[in-house]
């Protein structure tokens, strides 16, 4: 599951490094290194030193106190900079197209993983999915808090020699859980729609329906970012609750 819009909406005490599809920069920072498709630097942006930008369409209305280096297909500068170095680069559009193809392949890959999960481990999948449907608010809040707490714990463990191996394992499990959390939310969304319209579909079609709808919601500008955060938090919270309350059932087929 993915989304294309990256929004930097607050001040950064250091360097901004961002790469993605479309990028909106509204905060302040010391330096900025940005690569993407459509890149917009708004009037609220102040870069105290230098900014290096590579993209398809780049617009700058902010204040760059140092050097502004731009490599893009199109560049519009209504802001200010100590000096501007702009060169037109047609090849960046090809890079963006490559990134778009990669994101599509990633999305299809997660769809296939979800289908395999349902076919091979239906008991485990539906125990977690049930938690998504029955306690969405609780699981979202708990999941969000646990995500932040997990990141802090992993960082603290990683700075010690003894804790580093533990942090490595925890980090891998944490990333796997985050990457797959939206699969359970996808099925819950599909089931909700099927129940709403009173349509009979098998489990795989319900999952595909929910997955497609959720993927489209992720692409909504600005709101898509919030939807991603909610979906990941909800799925992660449901995974943790399922592991805590149904450990024996979840591991029955894995034993």
pLDDT on residue 94: 61
Distance CA 108, CA 1 (A): 9
DSSP secondary structure letter of residue 29: B
Read out DSSP for 222-234?
Answer: THHHHHHHHHHHH
Residue for token pair 């047609």: 90
pLDDT on residue 1: 45
For residue range 31-82, what is the model confidence (pLDDT) as tens digits? 999 988 889 999 999 999 999 998 888 999 999 999 999 988 889 999 999 9
Cross-strand bridge partners of residue 67: 83
For residue range 90-113, what is the model confidence (pLDDT) as tens digits? 655 666 666 777 888 888 999 999
- Ordered by start, the domain boundaries in the chain are 5-93, 121-251
The three-class DSSP label of residue 67 is strand
pLDDT on residue 3: 45
Stretch (H or E) spanning 25 = strand 22-25
Report strand pairing: 46-47 vs 31-35.
unpaired
Cross-strand bridge partners of residue 38: 57
């Amino acid at each position: 599951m993915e989304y294309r819009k990256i929004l930097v909406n607050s001040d950064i005490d250091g360097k901004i490094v961002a790469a993605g599809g479309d990028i909106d920069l509204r905060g302040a920072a010391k330096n900025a290194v940005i690569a993407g498709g459509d890149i917009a630097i708004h009037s609220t942006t102040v870069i105290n030193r230098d900014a290096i930008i590579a993209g398809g369409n780049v617009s700058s209305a902010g204040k760059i106190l140092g050097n502004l280096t731009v490599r893009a297909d199109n560049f519009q500068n209504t802001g200010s900079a100590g000096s501007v170095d702009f060169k037109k680069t047609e090849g960046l559009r090809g890079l963006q197209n490559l990134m778009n193809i990669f994101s599509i392949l990633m999305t299809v890959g997660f769809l296939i993983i979800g289908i395999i999960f349902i076919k091979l481990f239906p008991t485990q999948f539906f125990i977690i999915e049930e938690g998504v449907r029955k306690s969405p608010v609780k699981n979202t809040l708990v999941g969000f808090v646990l995500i932040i707490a997990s990141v802090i714990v992993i960082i603290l463990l990683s700075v010690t020699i003894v804790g580093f191996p533990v942090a490595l394992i925890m980090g891998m499990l944490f990333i796997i859980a985050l990457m797959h959390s939206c699969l359970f939310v996808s099925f819950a969304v599909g089931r909700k729609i099927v129940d709403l319209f009173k349509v009979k579909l098998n489990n795989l079609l319900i999952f595909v329906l929910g997955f497609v709808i959720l993927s489209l919601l992720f692409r909504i500008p600005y709101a898509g970012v919030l939807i991603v955060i909610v979906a990941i938090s909800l799925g992660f919270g449901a995974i943790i609750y399922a592991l805590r309350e149904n450990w024996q059932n979840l591991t029955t087929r894995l034993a």
